[in-house]
Amino acid sequence: MTPADAGVAPDVEDFRLIVGTRGPGRNHLHRLRFSVKSGRVRRDSEPTEAVNPSFGAFHPDGHVLYVVNETGRSRSDPAGSVSAFAIDKGTGALCLLNSLSSGGAAPCHVSVAPAGRHLFVANYWGGSIAAFAIAPDGSLDSQVAFVQHEGGTRDRGRDPGPHAHAIRLDPWGRHVVVADLGRDEMLLYTYDATTGGLAAHEPAAFALAPGAGPRHFTFDRDGRHAFVINELNSTLDVLAYDAARGSFRPLQSLSTRASNAGGENAAAEVALSPDGRHLYASNRGDDTIAICEVDQDSGLLRRLAHQPSLGRKPRHFALDREGSHLVVANQGSDTIVVFARDPAHGGLAPAAPPYAVPAPVWVGIAP
């Protein structure tokens, strides 16, 4: 029985976690609760079934969770899907609203426009992207845009072709930006805020280093800089962003790894602290979280430290809204770990023992 089941009032400083897991018998969304006061993670309810929910995003008003259903292992496979779950504001319970085809195989990333009217999906094996209208109740209305990428690098030791890996609207609301791991490019589309349409843009793309493998990215608060994490060569690229033109300019590239690191590694997630002062990046192989200081004028990064993730293969992590905690999903060791963040220096310290969750691949902190 959980504290919620027993009628125990949640701590004032509690926050709710939703964890996506995948694998045979592991396709679930787990609802957990972390108490800042006690330093404990506990289960909030029985897991909710979901098909391979490998990534998620919340509606801006916090009442709906959207997750991709990452199915399909090649471009010729049937498309995956994206699902909408209503979140009960009192209990946090999840209730499936609906699911729609993502338009391509293996959808791996989803984001929501700040106005809450449109949702964007990247299909990894499909090498495509799609946009969906969101209904007033938060359910998915219909697909309003679809773009099939072509081309891709062939000398990367994996299937050739495009592999769209992340998609989000720029902070100015003008362009949808896509990281395509297969093409080693950041692609841009002009966004129609009324219809959700995605139109061809010039310049169409910004090329990164061959073999870099851009996976995820984020923008700073004022939209002047983008930070791209490259999975295949374990680097971070800092790009200047011209919102008026919808174009990037390179500023810096640095390794996500410690200078003495060896062996194989695949970089995974990147995120800025809410105050914009520190950037974090995860390394699967080294099993660390790289901590960088962000120059507030130039956007350039300075590596400060590498915090062990206290598990294996930290695929994803999330920061809470205040930037006081960072939660890591260690896929390889079946654990999540909550770290307390020092806002002055960006350092991380364990706030709770590792908590067992089977194959966690995404973690979200409920609004």
Give per-residue pLDDT as tens, 330-358. 999 999 999 999 999 999 999 999 999 99
Q: pLDDT band for 157, please (50, 70, 90 cuts).
A: low
Rounded to the nearest 5 degrees, what angle is found at the Cα of 194, between the Cα atoms of 189 and 195? 65
Q: Hey, CA dihedral for 27, 96, 218, 203, is it positive or negative?
A: positive
In the block, tokens 């998915």 appear at: 140
Section 296-311 average pLDDT: 98
Burial profile 44-78: b = 16 or more Cβ within 10 angstroms, e = fewer: bbebbebbbbbbbbbbeeeebbbbbbbbbeebeee
pLDDT at 7: 38
Rounded to the nearest 5 degrees, what angle is found at the Cα of 298, between the Cα atoms of 297 and 300? 125
Section 122-149 average pLDDT: 98
The answer for residues whose C-beta is within 8 angstroms of residue 114's C-beta and 6 or more apart is 60, 169, 173
Domain boundaries, the chain: 50-207, 213-308
Give the residue from 206, 267, 208 showing the smallest Cα distance to 241: 206
The answer for residues whose C-beta is within 8 angstroms of residue 122's C-beta and 6 or more apart is 107, 108, 109, 110, 129, 164, 165, 166, 167, 178, 179
Kindly report the pTM of this predicted structure.
Answer: 0.95
Q: pLDDT band for 216, please (50, 70, 90 cuts).
A: very high
Give yes or no for a contact between 331 and 361, defined as CB atoms under 8 angstroms apart: yes
- The answer, yes or no, to whether residue 6 has pLDDT greater than 70, is no
Give the residue from 229, 341, 340 showing the smallest Cα distance to 278: 341
Q: Hey, CA dihedral for 183, 188, 189, 191, is it positive or negative?
A: positive
Length of the chain, please? 367
Q: pLDDT band for 3, please (50, 70, 90 cuts).
A: very low
pLDDT at 9: 41
Question: Domain 50-207 - what CATH class?
Answer: mainly beta
Q: pLDDT band for 106, please (50, 70, 90 cuts).
A: very high
Task: Please give the share of the chain, as a percent, with pLDDT higher than 70.
Answer: 95
Q: pLDDT band for 23, please (50, 70, 90 cuts).
A: confident
